[in-house]
Amino acid sequence: MALARSQTPAKKTLKSTPRPVTIKPVTIKPVVSGAPQVGENRWTFLTNHAHVLILLSQNQSMVLREVALAIGITERAVQRIIADLEGDGFIEREKIGRKNHYQIITKQPLRHPIESHRTIGELLAMIGSNR
């Protein structure tokens, strides 16, 4: 069977020798935050909600990205926590220009029955939020 001019025979595949791969060393920069580092024990006595409250009591105009980095959680998680705290009356948000300013409602009692005899303000005072 003859091939027509427009048809070409299948090309032969050439076996090539693999090229050497160069692996460059990677320098890992340490994370600068208050969050536990990899390999450290990850649990704490206070929840992320408490951590957000503590940070906002220290700096009421703190950007959520900074809060997330300090705690070691995502910015979206901080947004959900802010929504929880605002929805339950623990903080009030005020828009000043392009930034949010958060006011902590220190007279609010803590939520769990074991600690409900104490207020947010007492917790923040005990932690020493105004370092």
Specify the pLDDT at position 128: 79
Q: Which of 103, 78, 80, 83 is nearest to 93 (CA)?
A: 103
Q: Are 49 and 110 within 8 A, CB to CB?
A: no
Q: Residues near 128 by Cβ (< 8 Å), separated by ≥ 6? A: none
* CATH number reported for the structural domain that contains residue 102 in this entry: 1.10.10.10
Q: Which residues of 58-78 are buried (b: 16+ CB within 10 A; e: fewer)?
A: eebebebeebbbbbbbeeebb
Has residue 82 been placed in a domain? yes
Has residue 61 been placed in a domain? yes
- Is the pLDDT at 85 greater than 90? The verdict is yes
Has residue 23 been placed in a domain? no
pLDDT, tens digit, for every residue of 14-67? 666 777 766 666 554 444 455 555 556 678 889 999 999 999 999 999 999 999
- How many independent structural domains does the chain possess? 1
Has residue 20 been placed in a domain? no
Which pTM value belongs to this model? 0.67
Has residue 102 been placed in a domain? yes
Has residue 108 been placed in a domain? yes
Has residue 6 been placed in a domain? no
Domain that holds residue 56: 48-127
* Span 4-11, average pLDDT: 61
Has residue 71 been placed in a domain? yes
pLDDT, tens digit, for every residue of 91-107? 999 999 989 999 999 99
- Is the pLDDT at 2 greater than 80? The verdict is no
